[in-house]
């Protein structure tokens, strides 16, 4: 017996699906189709045994408890049983502000920066032994300990003077010794802002000024000593010259020079002179005409 769903029965009874019902079901089918496509795509990606590690990144693959590191590039990993953890191998920065002691027992606020990066060859060991948060678990406490230990042996003045570079190098070397074997490469350690107690800052400024004044005074005294030595040498030179000249002048030389001078005056057409005998020590006495008139009027 024909059923009601038979097309012939439907044709005889006139019971056909309405066009409105058919048209309203089309959007639902389209949405359902796209949902199925998205689900299948995600499942496909999840099942793909491929992972991509970008530049400056180290991949750590954990497969059934075994840990290995993979470098940047495309890698095939077993699905479902593997997990890929991506860790940065680029330069990173640790910034810290610590209250540190000095050799004098003073508390100083010091801002420090530690530049570091992950050793790619030891990324698997770090993840296995420490995990992803190695920066806070290892680097931060080690850096704080090294800085406090080294500054405790230094004067406060060294933190803002030439000793600052030495402190930085000492902290850097200590961190390198402790951390590089564990897979953390220390690039540099920088001491930034230093805040001293106000009383200490004033005392240090006064001490620095006194030291500078002492250096200046020492320079002045040295200069004066050199000037006194110069004058002494100059006076000795003059005395030696006078001794040489005195020892070289004789009575006969003076008489001869007197004769030469008398001869020059006598031969001068513009000078009227009178030569009157000899003076002391047989030297001629030279008188001008004006001197002769003065003597006559006396």
Least confident segment among 129-138, 184-193, 255-264: 255-264
How far is it, in rounded angstroms, from Cα 196 to Cα 102? 11
pLDDT in tens, 156-172: 777 777 788 888 999 99
253 falls in which pLDDT band (50, 70, 90)? low
Q: Is the pLDDT of residue 206 over 90?
A: no
Q: Is the pLDDT of residue 16 over 50?
A: no
Closest by CA to 171, choosing from 91, 87, 98, is 98
Q: Mean pLDDT: which of 46-55, 116-125, 201-210 is highest?
A: 116-125
Q: Is the pLDDT of residue 241 over 80?
A: no
Q: Is the pLDDT of residue 294 over 70?
A: no
Q: Is the pLDDT of residue 2 over 60?
A: no
Mean per-residue pLDDT, 141-165: 85
Is pLDDT larger for residue 137 or for residue 103? 137
Is pLDDT larger for residue 71 or for residue 44? 71
Which of left, alpha, beta for 65 (phi over 0: left; psi -120 to 50: alpha)?
A: left
Q: Is the pLDDT of residue 225 over 90?
A: no
Q: How far apart are the first and last CA of the chain?
A: 191
297 falls in which pLDDT band (50, 70, 90)? very low
The pLDDT assigned to 298 comes to 45
282 falls in which pLDDT band (50, 70, 90)? low
Domain 91-196: assigned CATH number: 3.30.479.30
Q: What angle do CA 48, 53, 59 make, to 5 degrees?
A: 95
Q: Is the pLDDT of residue 57 over 60?
A: yes
How far is it, in rounded angstroms, from Cα 296 to Cα 298? 6
**Sequence-distant (≥ 6) Cβ neighbours of residue 87 within 8 angstroms:** 57, 58, 59, 60, 118, 123, 126, 127, 132
The pLDDT assigned to 180 comes to 93
Rg (CA), the chain: 54
Is pLDDT larger for residue 251 or for residue 94? 94
- Note the residue count of the chain: 298
Q: Mean pLDDT: which of 30-39, 166-175, 242-251 is highest?
A: 166-175
The pLDDT assigned to 292 comes to 47
Closest by CA to 15, choosing from 23, 24, 4, is 4
115 falls in which pLDDT band (50, 70, 90)? very high
User: Which backbone phi and psi does 261 adopt, to 5 degrees?
Assistant: -65, -40
Q: Which residues of 55-65 are buried (b: 16+ CB within 10 A; e: fewer)?
A: eebbbbbbeee
The pLDDT assigned to 45 comes to 60
Q: Is the pLDDT of residue 98 over 60?
A: yes
């Amino acid at each position: 017996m024909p059923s009601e769903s038979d097309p012939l029965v439907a044709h005889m009874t006139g019971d056909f699906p309405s066009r409105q019902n058919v048209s309203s079901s089309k959007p639902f089918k389209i949405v359902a189709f796209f949902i199925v496509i998205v689900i299948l795509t995600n499942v496909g990606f999840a099942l793909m045994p491929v992972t991509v590690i970008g530049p400056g990144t180290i991949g750590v693959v954990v497969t059934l408890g075994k840990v290995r590191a993979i470098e940047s590039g495309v890698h095939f990993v077993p699905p479902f049983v593997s997990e890929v953890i991506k860790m940065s191998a680029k330069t990173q920065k640790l910034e810290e502000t610590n209250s540190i002691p000095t050799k004098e027992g003073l508390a100083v606020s010091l801002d420090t920066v530690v530049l570091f990066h992950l050793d790619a060859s030891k990324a698997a060991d770090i993840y296995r032994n420490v995990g992803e948060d190695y920066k806070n678990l290892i680097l931060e406490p080690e850096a704080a300990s090294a800085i406090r230990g080294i500054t405790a042996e230094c004067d406060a003045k060294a933190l803002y003077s030439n000793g600052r570079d030495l402190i930085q190098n000492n902290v850097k070397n200590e961190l390198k010794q402790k951390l590089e074997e564990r897979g953390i490469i220390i690039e540099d350690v920088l001491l930034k802002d230093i805040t001293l107690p106000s009383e200490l800052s004033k005392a240090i400024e006064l001490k620095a000024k006194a030291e500078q004044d002492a250096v200046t005074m020492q320079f002045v005294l040295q200069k004066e000593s050199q000037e006194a030595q110069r004058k002494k040498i100059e006076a000795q030179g003059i005395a030696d010259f006078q001794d040489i000249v005195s020892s070289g002048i004789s009575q006969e030389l003076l008489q001869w020079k007197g004769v030469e001078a008398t001869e020059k005056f006598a031969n001068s057409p513009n000078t009227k002179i009178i030569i009157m005998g000899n003076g002391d020590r047989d030297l001629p006495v030279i008188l001008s005409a004006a001197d002769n008139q003065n003597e006559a009027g006396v």
